[in-house]
Amino acid sequence: MHINQKKIVHAIVILISLKTIIELTHFPEHLESISVFSEYLLTNPIFSLFPILGSGIGLLIPILATVGIVIFIFSKDRHLNGWLMLTLIFSIHAYLFYLCMSAFTGSSNSRENEGFDQFRMIGFQIIILSLSIFTVYYFLTKTFHPTGKNPINVSARKSIRFKNYFIDLGITGYFTFYTLALFSDSEIRVNEPVLLLVFMVNQFVYYSFSELLFRQTIGKVITNTFVYAESKFYKSVLVRTLCRHIPFEPFSFFAGKTGRWHDRWSNSILIKMK
């Protein structure tokens, strides 16, 4: 890793630390939200589930970040470990999602921000915007060398592919239903075509953003796998993402030993680092 990249990594970790400190001050509100909405979960599951999930994630992300920061401090190579990668992918994707939905629905003053005072919210926005810029710059300038870490082609490994698929499906499902919850305050009528459209848009943004920038989704971070293509990686990611919208594409995994359609048609593979 070049010296300038080391400095960028340290800047990213410092920004994650500042972001985590602000999020930790919001812990009592998340705990209170889970407690309050849990009482109504059985009587009104749709209304209560999303505040509980949102608050649960609000508790989980700073915990993941804290673990990642501690590991980073005591590690010798000082790289962005899996805990920090989970924090980065979800935090930046959630931030982009928040900006898009705020612009589209005008919901920037939503309930989840009521616990933040104005000063804390401005500071949080500045920190996560800076974090996004540093992260994008770092990963766009970082060279990916899979040959140096004994990679294994796991494109045909069903257990790993199932884990990746269901974890990422849960993430895209969460953002999809959260989008629909925001639509409830607008004039948009939610029906099955709208649900499918919102899911497809969320899936496209999530996979293209995560694989293009990080070569990993949240599921792939957990299984320590990466997307790899010999050439034209940007084109491969676009084809991979578009192929995911083909009907019955998930079942293509059972049709052969070379992986799913989005692997074969994009000339890419899934590798796992030893």
Domain of 179 in residue numbering reads as 144-274
The neighbour count for residue 135, using CB atoms within 10 Å, is 23
Q: Name the domain boundary from 83, 117, 143.
A: 143
204 phi and psi angles, rounded to 5 deg: -65, -45
How would you classify residue 217: left for phi > 0, otherwise alpha for psi between -120 and 50, otherwise beta?
A: beta
Cα–Cα nearest to 16, from 87, 113, 99, 86: 87
Q: What is the pLDDT of residues 240-258, one digit of tens each?
A: 999 888 887 877 777 666 6
pLDDT for residue 11 is more than 90: yes
Q: Name the domain boundary from 143, 178, 203.
A: 143
Question: For the chain, what is the largest distance between any 2 Cα atoms, rounded to a whole number of angstroms?
Answer: 57
Q: Which residues of the chain form beta strands (DSSP E)?
A: 151-153, 225-229, 268-273
Q: What is the pTM of this model?
A: 0.82
Q: What is the pLDDT of residues 157-204, one digit of tens each?
A: 888 888 999 999 888 888 887 777 666 655 556 667 777 888 888 899
Q: What is the pLDDT of residues 95-146, one digit of tens each?
A: 887 777 776 665 544 444 444 567 777 888 899 999 999 999 999 888 877 6
Q: Name the domain boundary from 102, 123, 143.
A: 143
| Average pLDDT across the chain, whole number | 81
Q: How confident is the model at residue 212 (pLDDT cuts 50, 70, 90)?
A: very high
Least confident of 145-154, 161-170, 230-239: 145-154
Do 86 and 154 lie in one domain? The reply is no
Do 135 and 157 lie in one domain? The reply is no
- The total domain count for the chain is 2
Do 42 and 148 lie in one domain? The reply is no
pLDDT at residue 134, rounded to an integer: 94
188 phi and psi angles, rounded to 5 deg: -75, 130
Q: What is the pLDDT of residues 61-75, one digit of tens each?
A: 888 999 999 999 999
272 phi and psi angles, rounded to 5 deg: -120, 130
pLDDT for residue 46 is more than 80: no
Cα–Cα nearest to 239, from 190, 204, 215: 204
Q: What is the mean pLDDT of residues 200-221?
A: 92
Do 240 and 174 lie in one domain? The reply is yes
Do 7 and 139 lie in one domain? The reply is yes
Do 38 and 2 lie in one domain? The reply is yes
90 phi and psi angles, rounded to 5 deg: -70, -40
Cα–Cα nearest to 185, from 75, 105, 89: 105
